[in-house]
Amino acid sequence: MIQVASTPQWRARERRREQLFQLVGALIVLFALTTLAVLLTKILLDGFARLNPEFFSSFPSRRAENAGILPALVGSAYLLLLTAAIAIPIGVGAAVYLEEFARRNWFTRLIEINITNLAGVPSVIYGLLGLQVFVRTLMMDRSLIAGACTMALLALPVIITAAREGLRTVPKSLRDGSLALGATQWQTVRYTVLPVAIPSILTGVILSLSRVVGETAPLLVIGAVVFISRLPDSPASPFTVLPVQIYNWTTRPQHAFQENAAAGIIVLLVLLLTMNALAIYLRNRYQKRLPI
Amino acid sequence: MKPRLEWVIVACLAVLSLAACGKQDSGSGASDKQSSLSGTIRIDGSSTVLPISEAVAEEFAKAHPNVQPTVGKSGTGGGFKKFANGEVDIIGASRPIREEEDALCKQNGIEYIEIPVAYDAMAVVVNPENTWCDSLTVAELKKIWEPAAQGKIMNWSQVRAGFPNERLVLFGAGTDSGTFDYFTAAIVGKEKASRGDYTGSEDDDILVQGVSRTKGALGYFGLAYYENNQDKLKLVAIDNGNGPVKPSRETVLDGTYQPLARPLFIYVNVKALERPEVAEFVKFYIENAGKLAEEVGYIGLPDNVIALVKERLERRITGSAFGAHGSQVGVKLEDLYKLEEASEKSAQ
């Protein structure tokens, strides 16, 4: 076998195969990147001219050149804050409980399976759930808070899973050390485990929140509006968000609205890239400080 | 070093909320002149009517800064569901209310006033290089688009004797749109009955691009898309038995461009109308719909019809003048005049 494998012909053939595979791989990457580059270039060309201060400080309008994204931007920011306020405590709390306190039995396994499954549910289903539970049953109406509750549900599975992964990376020796010094389990979690796990928890949180910022379908279902004349002033206010505003503009016949949509997409892209960059930055920065 | 992380988060949140609050102030700063009306008006419904409602809401909010009109986009069917639940005050509809929707309203004790606000027309277009096709009859369109045509009618020569041997490439509305529902009802005779082997898209720009780049192309979409792309497309006249007619403001209003023109409506909850801001908004809507509809690409109703509709509103005539039978093809202005007859009858 070894003799056969080391014949020059065999080696030459394998080298050709490898080269072929590399070529195919490179072509696939090139194709994906070219498509992305074409899309980005088109969006930038279409929308860049519209990116002026008025675009950020105006309300939507039937005249494309007067229309702006102010309520959408503010709505997205509020929605993000409210969603974070709801989803982070519940998500991290659930992860800490499952990872640090709960006993492994059929019940926790059931919960785990459900959380994993929920992460794969299409977002529009969360919208229908939110419409029935928050908007109708809990009478929240088409408000920011109803939107934030729905988006929190959407973000929770990802946050819980990411937070649990983070907690799992904390070495057992740290916990044992803390417990050996007489700390209670709560003290161990609070002062030893969580501080070490926070960078990766935070990464998961930011990534799932950036998904929230880009979501359209569930918000359309629960009734985010597409035109609004005032900014939301309380959690009970009607609201709109960036993706909904962009979606609305793309369906208009006038070309000027397509330019607005492109400009809106640039703003959304920058926002998402910033959030993802922040996640990477936090991870890199705090991972180096591990006390081990 | 640990507090640094918390500071980063706090700083981010602070900047975000400050940005939001700061803009908030400048937004409501201009609100303390004129108009004593206040409150929120919830509008939802058809995506076709949305541009008109949006334009009306924009103008109304300028005149009454303390009133907050919000416009949603859940489609005609979805809109009627919310309307029947009493969740919204006004909905836009690209067809008259259906029987089951009317029944649901009655069941929930919701009375409504039906108000036509504009006309929408669909354009059938071909590539500018197409020299042979200036007009099509409804029967020819049906032959092209009916489900039985799938995989069979693939060449222009099959459409009419004398058309050249050129591949027929079709572009049309996506199956989720009201445009698709209406086109199939008007041409094939049954809602949603269409062949499936065509390029369908909710994004009409894709259809415009497709037709403008393919010599043998034929497509249909809202007239506004044709008007915004006249240089890339050739408009086809429709022959409904009385000679070929091209869509225009005149032919839609005099009822000769049929069956591809339809009225658009808003439905107003009578109970919501008791709120002064809603009453004022609806009045404002009727008075300005004509002008604003033209601005966003539709065809405004003529003055005499607007006057009739206004009277209908003032007398609080409820119910559908179309007998709550849903999409009806070939609804003409005459039918709107019948609105008045119906209103006269119910007033007596």
Flag whether pLDDT at B26 surpasses 50.
no
Q: What is the pLDDT of residues B250-274, one digit of tens each?
A: 888 888 888 898 888 999 999 999 9
In sequence order, the β-bridge partners of residue B261 are: B121
CB contact under 8 A, B28 and A286: no
* Section A164-177 average pLDDT: 91
CB contact under 8 A, B72 and A224: yes
Q: What is the pLDDT of residues A171-197, one digit of tens each?
A: 999 999 999 999 999 999 999 899 888
Q: In this predicted structure, what is the pLDDT of residue B76?
A: 83
Closest CA to B38 of B8, B60, B55: B60
Flag whether pLDDT at A50 surpasses 70.
yes
Q: How many CB atoms lie within 10 A of CB B10?
A: 11
3-class secondary structure for chain A? CHHHHCCHHHHHHHHHHHHHHHHHHHHHHHHHHHHHHHHHHHHHHHHHHHCCHHHHHCCCCCCHHHCCCHHHHHHHHHHHHHHHHHHHHHHHHHHHHHHHHCCCCHHHHHHHHHHHHHHCCCHHHHHHHHHHHHHHHCCCCCCHHHHHHHHHHHHHHHHHHHHHHHHHCCCHHHHHHHHHCCCCHHHHHHHHHHHHHHHHHHHHHHHHHHHHHHCCHHHHHHCCCCECCCCCCCCCCCCCCHHHHHHHHHCCCCHHHHHHHHHHHHHHHHHHHHHHHHHHHHHHHHHCCCCC
Question: Which residue of chain A is at minimal alpha-carbon distance from B52?
Answer: A62
Give the count of alpha carbons within 13 A of B208, CB side only. Answer: 21
3-class secondary structure for A164-192? HHHHHCCCHHHHHHHHHCCCCHHHHHHHH
Closest CA to A154 of A227, A198, A208, A229: A208
List phi, psi (to 5°) of B35.
50, 120
Chain B residues in contact with A289 (beta carbon < 8 A): 1
Flag whether pLDDT at A133 surpasses 50.
yes
Distant-in-sequence contacts of B288-296, Cβ < 8 A, 24+ apart: B288/B56, B288/B59, B289/B52, B289/B56, B289/B117, B289/B118, B290/B118, B292/A62, B292/B52, B292/B55, B292/B56, B292/B59, B293/B52, B293/B117, B293/B118, B295/A62, B295/B55, B296/A62, B296/B51, B296/B52, B296/B54, B296/B55, B296/B224
Flag whether pLDDT at B330 surpasses 70.
no
Token output for A181:
């010094």
* Section B179-196 average pLDDT: 87
Residue A131 burial by Cβ neighbours in a 10 Å radius (0-12, 13-18, 19+): buried
Question: Which residue of chain A is at minimal alpha-carbon distance from B10?
Answer: A81
Q: In this predicted structure, what is the pLDDT of residue B180?
A: 85
**Residue-range domain boundaries for chain B:** 36-119+262-347, 121-253
Q: How many CB atoms lie within 10 A of CB B231?
A: 7
CATH code of the domain occupying B36-119+262-347: 3.40.190.10
Flag whether pLDDT at B132 surpasses 60.
yes
For A77, the closest of B19, B61, B202 (CB atoms) is B19
- The architecture (CATH level 2) of B121-253 comes to 3-Layer(aba) Sandwich (3.40)
User: Rounded distance, CA B3 to CA B16, Å?
Assistant: 20
Question: Which residue of chain B is at minimal alpha-carbon distance from A142?
Answer: B87
Flag whether pLDDT at B1 surpasses 60.
no
Q: In this predicted structure, what is the pLDDT of residue B24?
A: 42
- Mutation target for B interface from A92, A213, A244, A251: give the one with most B CBs within 10 A: A251
Chain B residues in contact with A254 (beta carbon < 8 A): 224, 228, 297
CB contact under 8 A, B5 and A62: no
Token output for A250:
């793309």
For B23, the closest of A70, A142, A254 (CB atoms) is A70
CB contact under 8 A, A60 and B5: no
Chain A residues in contact with B292 (beta carbon < 8 A): 62
Q: What is the pLDDT of residues B268-325, one digit of tens each?
A: 999 999 999 999 999 999 999 888 998 888 999 888 788 888 888 888 878 777 665 6
Q: Confidence band (pLDDT; 50, 70, 90) for B194?
A: very high
Mean pLDDT of chain B: 82
DSSP-derived secondary structure letter, B202: S
* Section A158-168 average pLDDT: 91
* Section A250-255 average pLDDT: 80
User: Do B36-119+262-347 and B121-253 agree at the fold level?
Assistant: yes
Please answer whether residues B326 and B96 qualify as being in contact, where contact means their C-beta atoms are separated by less than 8 angstroms. yes
Question: Which residue of chain A is at minimal alpha-carbon distance from B60?
Answer: A229
CB contact under 8 A, B73 and A248: yes
- Helices (DSSP H) in B264-302: which residue ranges? 276-295
Q: How far is B42 from chain A (nearest CA, A)?
A: 9
Chain B residues in contact with A238 (beta carbon < 8 A): 40, 42, 68, 70
* Section B123-140 average pLDDT: 93
Q: Confidence band (pLDDT; 50, 70, 90) for B190?
A: confident
DSSP-derived secondary structure letter, B58: H
The CATH fold of domain A54-288 = MetI-like fold (1.10.3720)
More confident position, A222 or B169: B169
CB contact under 8 A, A231 and B24: yes
Q: In this predicted structure, what is the pLDDT of residue A204?
A: 87
CB contact under 8 A, B23 and A227: no
Please answer whether residues A48 and A260 qualify as being in contact, where contact means their C-beta atoms are separated by less than 8 angstroms. no
Chain B residues in contact with A250 (beta carbon < 8 A): 203
Flag whether pLDDT at B182 surpasses 50.
yes
Chain B residues in contact with A62 (beta carbon < 8 A): 51, 54-55, 58, 292, 295-296
CB contact under 8 A, B27 and A231: yes
Q: In this predicted structure, what is the pLDDT of residue B338?
A: 55
User: Rounded distance, CA A38 to CA A34, Å?
Assistant: 6
**How many A/B residue pairs have CB atoms within 8 Å?**
114
For B71, the closest of A225, A231, A289 (CB atoms) is A225
- Mutation target for A interface from B8, B32, B58, B125: give the one with most A CBs within 10 A: B58
Please answer whether residues A226 and A213 qualify as being in contact, where contact means their C-beta atoms are separated by less than 8 angstroms. no
Token output for A205:
């949180």
Chain B residues in contact with A190 (beta carbon < 8 A): none
Per DSSP, the three-state class of B72 is coil
ipTM of the complex: 0.74
Q: What is the pLDDT of residues B78-117, one digit of tens each?
A: 889 889 988 899 999 888 888 888 999 999 999 999 898 9
Chain B residues in contact with A70 (beta carbon < 8 A): 23, 27
- Mutation target for A interface from B68, B108, B291: give the one with most A CBs within 10 A: B68
Flag whether pLDDT at A261 surpasses 60.
yes
Q: How far is B61 from chain A (nearest CA, A)?
A: 6
Q: How far is B59 from chain A (nearest CA, A)?
A: 9
Q: Confidence band (pLDDT; 50, 70, 90) for B348?
A: very low
CB contact under 8 A, B68 and A195: no
Q: Confidence band (pLDDT; 50, 70, 90) for B31?
A: very low
Q: In this predicted structure, what is the pLDDT of residue B12?
A: 53
Q: In this predicted structure, what is the pLDDT of residue A286?
A: 74
The residue length of chain A stands at 292
Q: In this predicted structure, what is the pLDDT of residue B32?
A: 43
